[in-house]
Amino acid sequence: MKLFPLLLVFAGFTTQLQAQHISKADIVLLAKKEDSLKVPALRILNGTNPAAKLSSDSIFTRGLVRALKVKHSFDYPFDSLITISKIYPPDSSFRIFTWQMAISDNVIRQHGAIQMRTPDGSLKLYPLIDKSDVTENMSDTIGNNYGWMGAVYYKIIPTTWQNKNYYTLLGFDENNIRSDKKIIEILTFNQDGPIFGSRSFVFENGNVFQKNMARYVMEFKKDVGPRLTYDPELQMIVMEHLVSESNQPLKKWTLIPDGDYEGFKWINGKWAYVSKIFNDITPEGKPPTPKTIRDEKGNVEYEKLKGNEGTTTPTP
């Protein structure tokens, strides 16, 4: 399973929170509980059979909830649980635990929970229930934590619009024996809790941007690993463009990266699609050479993002 080394990377980027609110006795207690969670956490991923994985998942989930009930547990990082993704937004208002369990090559589930930061250190937890297997069109689905589409998250991108916070999540789903998925989705909160999905992705059709999907799903050939990340300098989600290696684009398991890049830029409360971040220039007799959207001094030429090659706007 390739998720294990990926989660090692996640662990390296786990927010290092100060435990200033936790009593010394509770730090000792949480350390003991964390130690008891290590073995079942590993067996969820590496168990010898489905029954062992299901049993380990149950033991781990119950143990994690008991640990999180300790006062001010939000400030305890659980860093040694290296197969469990733990990510925080910059405002540290919540954290998301996610992990994966493969029942078979074609039956893979994600589990998780959102823990909210509370003023008194009490537990406020939302379980995440993966309903992707009974959802007809996950790209068009908006749901709460009981209608979650499932992913192991590795990045939170905070944005705001009209005084509302939007948390864009980048996640991975080891989908089945033929294909993997990477997912872009928006998390918001209302009075009842978390909402996953938002019709905030827009694509240009002629000169008009039209609203479309509730989340963006990249599905691609197993193990090819196209890039999907956030570039803080460009202030864009950047992803590799996919093409079918067999000229069958509707068969997602044939899609592979072609070396080109596309992405999304946050504009007026929407993630607006940018079809080309780099330009290919092919002089006669020479192979294609990528040309970035930066000038010779390294400044971003933002007009090129809009397709206007004649004028440039240097980085402030």
Q: Any idea what DSSP says for residue 300? A: B
Band of pLDDT at residue 105, cut at 50, 70 and 90: confident
The residue type at 61? T
Band of pLDDT at residue 234, cut at 50, 70 and 90: very high
Question: For 13-49, where are the alpha helices, taking DSSP H only?
Answer: 24-46
In angstroms, the CA 72 to CA 68 distance is 8
pLDDT for position 10: 43
Compute the mean pLDDT over every residue in the chain, rounded to the nearest whole number: 84
In angstroms, the CA 48 to CA 62 distance is 21
In angstroms, the CA 187 to CA 168 distance is 6
Burial degree of 119 (CB within 10 A; 0-12, 13-18, 19+) = exposed
Greater confidence (275 vs 112) lies with: 112
Question: How are beta strands 94-102 and 85-87 bridged, if at all?
Answer: antiparallel
Q: What is the pLDDT of residues 127-149, one digit of tens each?
A: 999 999 888 889 999 999 999 99
* pLDDT > 70? residue 308: no
pLDDT for position 49: 93
Q: Any idea what DSSP says for residue 12? A: H
pLDDT for position 205: 66
The angle subtended at Cα 126 by Cα 39 and Cα 155, nearest 5°, is 70
Greater confidence (298 vs 40) lies with: 40
CB 274 within 8 A of CB 235: no
C-beta neighbour count of 306 within 10 angstroms = 10
The residue type at 162? Q
Report residue 124: phi and psi, to 5°: -130, 110
Mean pLDDT of 175-201: 95
Q: Flag whether the pTM goes above 0.85.
A: no
Band of pLDDT at residue 295, cut at 50, 70 and 90: low
* pLDDT > 60? residue 97: yes
C-beta neighbour count of 86 within 10 angstroms = 22
Q: What is the pLDDT of residues 255-267, one digit of tens each?
A: 999 989 999 999 9
Band of pLDDT at residue 206, cut at 50, 70 and 90: low
pLDDT for position 14: 39
Q: What is the pLDDT of residues 48-81, one digit of tens each?
A: 899 999 999 999 999 999 999 999 999 999 999 9
In angstroms, the CA 8 to CA 77 distance is 15
Q: Which range is most confident: 223-232, 275-284, 303-312?
A: 223-232
The answer to which of 1-5, 9-13, 59-63 has the lowest mean pLDDT is: 9-13
Q: What percent of the chain has pLDDT over 90?
A: 70
* pLDDT > 90? residue 309: no
Q: Can you give the C-alpha Rg of the chain in angstroms?
A: 21
Distances in whole angstroms, Cα of residue 269 to Cα of each of 156, 167, 194, 207, 209: 16, 12, 18, 19, 13
pLDDT for position 222: 94
Band of pLDDT at residue 283, cut at 50, 70 and 90: very low
121: left (phi over 0), alpha (psi -120 to 50) or beta: left
